[in-house]
Structure 1
């Protein structure tokens, strides 16, 4: 007869094999700052949206690139013909596309299975539309816990938050956004990792041109998140798909 200790050990081993989600997962790295000196990562959450072309044009004219953290079904469905064109444009122009999850939920309130669904559905859209698997993600509201970090790690993604926020999503006047930016850049940081939102008119047409002028004058290079970290933007790339009836929100 097996000893009670051996029975317990075997039972535990069976449980872990039958339920692999119980295995301790490594936690994803949480990034809040760039590592390359004299770089600024200008990032835009909540798209794809109507200001994508304007922001892209302004960045390219200033010799810079940006990073878009994209939702699948937030302000608009990622699979509309207009949004597909916007995403292809951003990818073709050398901007980085990353995950902001599917529906912009507070991830720290979701179960592990719900988290995988939030991650997977936007990853699938990025694979279908532009043929990339993101290496970076930003949790909505910057909210995460160890479960979120574990799921992000399993999906091969690092969590990217920020060290400078303009206040646009909180409807801060553009004059106030400029003031806090001047204060931040006046401290001459080695690098800056921003939080902005593509969905706000003032970000695209008032604050961003002002900020880029100041950054260029101060000698900063405006780069993607991956470039400011010295990393690859995507885990892998593939041939984009062709839209069919399954491309829907």
Structure 2
């Protein structure tokens, strides 16, 4: 149901990894140094385990999208990460971001993540008008408040030890989750969870539609 708030998966024993505030350099970057190509990215780590993540992208960084290889965003985000609960319908920036994703990547996504997990009824109405629903996490890695990697890893340890039936984790792409991601993946997979995208663990299509990419302005 569009315009709803989703707080957990519907498929038992599943986990979805959410990466917020992208696209940024930790998602998928190839750079050349002295003739040698190096890669530092989240996507490789997920690929190595045969799993996927979900990326909340914002037009604040959307210009990176043309240079990102293998990037598959599944969710929308607001244009400049303002609190959605403090915006009027006319100010709400979902339209801008959705239009950018459609033009640059040719996709219309089914989910959006409200900044800071904050929203109002009017925001839900705007999302519904775009045939989208809100996704809210149930576990925060703590990276957004600069929690140390050691403490974030302990938080993941505690989480999987409790073994909730389903998990939606919040991580931030801009803070270098590459540090704790291998540990988090080992924890989650070692506990027997199936790692899926949010749309997969909800039984939803990945995109509302997929079109031919537009040329860059």
Task: Return the TM-score normalized by structure 2.
Answer: 0.90
- Report the alpha carbon displacement of residue 47 of structure 1 after superposing the two structures with TM: 0.5
- State whether structure 2 residue 197 is matched by structure 1 residue 227: no
Of 103, 110, 133, 2:80 maps to: 103
Query: Which 5+ residue runs of structure 2 have no aligned equivalent?
Result: 29-40
- Supply the distance in 2 between the matched residues of 1:131 and 1:152 (Cα, whole angstroms): 19
- State whether structure 2 residue 161 is matched by structure 1 residue 174: no
Of 121, 124, 130, 2:99 maps to: 124
Q: Name the structure 1 match of 2:14.
A: 39
Contact 2:3 2:127 in 1 (8 A): yes
Q: Name the structure 2 match of 1:212.
A: 185
Q: Name the structure 2 match of 1:69.
A: 56
- Supply the distance in 2 between the matched residues of 1:148 and 1:27 (Cα, whole angstroms): 12
Q: Name the structure 1 match of 2:33.
A: none
User: Highest Rg: 1 or 2?
Assistant: 1
Q: Deviations over 1:145-166 (max 9, x none)?
A: 1111111111111100111100
What SS is found at the alignment partner of 1:114?
A: coil
Of 54, 77, 89, 2:70 maps to: 89
- Structure with a larger share of its residues in helix: 1
Q: Name the structure 2 match of 1:113.
A: 90
- Supply the distance in 2 between the matched residues of 1:121 and 1:231 (Cα, whole angstroms): 23
Contact 1:27 1:146 in 2 (8 A): no
- State whether structure 2 residue 128 is matched by structure 1 residue 153: yes
Q: Structure 1 segments of 4 or more deviating over 2 A? A: none
Matches for 1:229-248 after TM superposition, within 5 Å: 229-244=202-217
Task: Return the TM-score normalized by structure 1.
Answer: 0.79
Q: Name the structure 2 match of 1:138.
A: 113
Distance 1:125 1:175, change over 3 A: same
- Report the alpha carbon displacement of residue 229 of structure 1 after superposing the two structures with TM: 0.7
Q: How many residue pairs were aligned?
A: 205
Query: Which 5+ residue runs of structure 1 have no aligned equivalent?
Result: 1-25, 245-249
